[in-house]
Amino acid sequence: MRKTLIAASCAAIIASPAWAEDAAETDRGWKGEVEAAYLMKRGNSRSDTVIGKANAEKDTLWWRHTAKIEGANEETRNAATGADERSAERYFLSYKLDRKFGEDSPTYLFNIATYDKDRFSGFHYQASYALGLGQRWLTGPVHTLDTEAGPGYRAVCLEPESSYSDCAAKEEDAILRLALNYGWKISETAQFSESITTEVGDDVTTTRAETSLTSQINGRLALRLSHLLKHTSEVPAGSKKSDQEVSVSIVYKF
């Protein structure tokens, strides 16, 4: 399944026009943002939480590149021992390449690879690759709406938890990836966004839903309220199926 998907992806890219971008495409450079949040608790309980995110996108006549990286860590003071212990740790990376069917066409072929590690989820890590078709139904300037669907491959590593790449026990399966991305420019200084991705496998279905409300402070800085929901239909014993994270952060756009 993995070899078939990679071959299909390469064939789609080779069959398309050359990678070289013309002058109009070159003018459409990268844009992105860096987001950070920090929470410190002192008193009856003691903890430190740090959340960092970065997103980058380049949208040209024929191609659209989207990269994302996230990280969150929390340390909590153990009341019995007095030692600081890691109580939360997660990382998420993804890269998506869209090939439009025409100059600025709303229909496109997508390729996406993801890596998700959550130390306290019961899994060592989950990695996936998917290839399929996407459609942009709304193009703005107020509303944007994309939907995507296609087959993919997923590897779930169960152990060891101390490593970030090595795996001693792995489960692999074919998946169907479904995604929805919606953006609403409420005003000149406020924006709402919703991103939902579901990977449906034979035994396990995972869903990741991100909701955010961003308020612009000035040309570069913004304040963002975010909610992240992660749900896995089947998890190891002792782990919960859903995780939620709410954060208020400062965003720098470039």
Give me the pLDDT at residue 222, please.
97
Q: Which residue is listed with tokens 């989950």?
A: 126
pLDDT at residue 70 tops 60 = yes
pLDDT: which is higher, 20 or 46: 46
Tens of pLDDT, residues 81-100:
878 888 788 899 999 999 99
Radius of gyration of the chain (CA): 20
Residue 10 has pLDDT above 60, yes or no: no
User: What residue ranges define each of the domains in the chain, with the CATH number in brackets?
Assistant: 2-18+36-253 (2.40.160.40)
**Residue with more model confidence, 211 or 13:** 211
pLDDT computed for residue 19 by the predictor? 41
Q: What is the pLDDT of residues 168-202, one digit of tens each?
A: 778 899 999 999 999 999 999 999 999 999 999 99
Its pTM stands at 0.82
* Structure confidence at residue 163 as a pLDDT band (50, 70, 90): low
**pLDDT score, position 37:** 92
pLDDT per residue as tens digits for the range 190-249: 999 999 999 999 988 999 999 999 999 998 999 999 999 999 888 777 778 888 889 999
The residue that leads in pLDDT, 28 or 226, is: 226
pLDDT for 87 equals 77
